[in-house]
Structure 1
């Protein structure tokens, strides 16, 4: 399906904003003091992100096809060779991710005002062991685990006809979080990490700690490399 330039930008902004609102929102719910979901754990976070993908993608699909992720956009372009609309998708995704992060802050404003701990992990990924090579490899592998299956789902006409492709992708994201998210927090999406990191930098959150820009290249480069590799593997194998 061919989407207009305006619809691509609007769809990706809205869809990615919803994705980040749910995803950063569940991180805030589990992390912040005075939240009813405080300390409810990693499984809750993984499902929160999966539901965010589902809500954002079903919303954006009629307008843009619901990439919501530069890695998905780059993976598809690597497979098809069609790069002309890639910048439009990425612009919409970055704007939407920043908007979703800002909405998360507004939703939990009272909890953020009472904050007494670093908050970057609510907005962006933070590795458990800081090792750039290992962290980069984790993001590359996890993104291949996202983009390669996603490309193969397009071969299943039944999934497309039934409208369940997005639902399956949402559960795929949950699975990645549960299985591969432990080392880095599974960015697997450059916009998901970069947009909220920018917002974290400028928000007036008490005692928010560093935005860790020295690490910020890893959750951007890793998913993009993984996306290109996934596109190439799909082209060769399928």
Structure 2
């Protein structure tokens, strides 16, 4: 595929992922939302469905919709390194766009919500116990599971397609998401955090850039480790 084709597919797929993913967080936590108080499992399933939809939208490019997946597949050998920039740029741009659309959809709820932390939580992840080292370890572990299991699907006699990846994301969130909110995707966190910074959100507060490197570095390390192990094993 050309640079432009990869960029467009990843832009659309990642945009859909973030629209549904950030959207379910907004539904569950913003003031006066009909889904207020929906809880952690609602958020997990919302992100899983976001992955399901995003994979189908971006299927022509391989539907990475995640820089950690792209880098993991590159070290594993399934993706050409020359294509990596198109994937990464499309994913980041799509993540920003998806987050902007969520703000448009929930504009009135952002206006009435008084807690700046909840407004930021719609866009990006944050730890329950802030310790950059251990928060990074959590993201490494979650993303390692994501990459290694995705690459293990190729050896399975049962092909569930995007549904398998969606259920895997739900499982990672339910099992490993509690400490950090499980970014497991640098674009998923960085793109919306950029959107939070420039959007005119009433009373939004800080974008917490001091933490922003954790959900970027951790998933990249985890993705590469998952790709390397899969290359060695399979």
TM interval, shorter chain, is over 0.9
The answer as to whether partners of 1:124 and 1:192 remain within 8 angstroms in 2 is yes
Question: Between Structure 1 and Structure 2, how many residues are aligned?
Answer: 231
Equivalent of 1:203 in 199, 204, 212: 199
Counterparts of 1:103-182 in structure 2 under 5 Å?
A: 103-118=101-116, 119-156=119-156, 158-159=158-159, 164-182=160-178
* Cα distance in 1, alignment partners of residues 178 and 13 from structure 2: 26
Q: How far does the alpha carbon of each residue in 1:141-177 deviate from its partner, in whole angstroms, 9 at most, with x for none?
A: 0000100001111234652xxxx32110000000000
Counterparts of 1:82-121 in structure 2 under 5 Å?
A: 82-118=80-116, 119-121=119-121
**Aligned twin of 2:68:** 71
* Cα distance in 2, alignment partners of residues 86 and 135 from structure 1: 26
Q: How far does the alpha carbon of each residue in 1:69-114 deviate from its partner, in whole angstroms, 9 at most, with x for none?
A: 0000000001007311011000000000000000000000111121
Q: How far does the alpha carbon of each residue in 1:168-214 deviate from its partner, in whole angstroms, 9 at most, with x for none?
A: 00000000000000000000000000000000011111221210000
* Cα distance in 2, alignment partners of residues 44 and 57 from structure 1: 20
**Aligned twin of 1:229:** 225
Report the RMSD for the aligned CA atoms in angstroms. 1.1
* Cα distance in 2, alignment partners of residues 204 and 40 from structure 1: 27
The answer as to whether partners of 1:18 and 1:55 remain within 8 angstroms in 2 is yes
TM-score, normalised to structure 1, is 0.95
Alignment CA distance shift 1:84-1:155 (3 Å): farther
* Cα distance in 2, alignment partners of residues 207 and 112 from structure 1: 9
* Cα distance in 2, alignment partners of residues 87 and 127 from structure 1: 29
Alignment CA distance shift 1:154-1:5 (3 Å): farther
* Cα distance in 1, alignment partners of residues 93 and 51 from structure 2: 16
**Aligned twin of 1:58:** 56
**Aligned twin of 1:27:** 25
Unmatched 5+ residue regions in structure 1? Answer: none
* Cα distance in 2, alignment partners of residues 149 and 103 from structure 1: 31
Deviates more, 1:107-116 or 1:39-48: 107-116
* Cα distance in 2, alignment partners of residues 230 and 114 from structure 1: 42
Equivalent of 1:10 in 1, 8, 11: 8
Secondary structure, counterpart of 1:154 in structure 2: helix
* Cα distance in 2, alignment partners of residues 154 and 211 from structure 1: 39
* Cα distance in 2, alignment partners of residues 76 and 42 from structure 1: 30
Unmatched 5+ residue regions in structure 2? Answer: none
The answer as to whether partners of 1:32 and 1:38 remain within 8 angstroms in 2 is yes
Deviates more, 1:164-173 or 1:186-195: 164-173
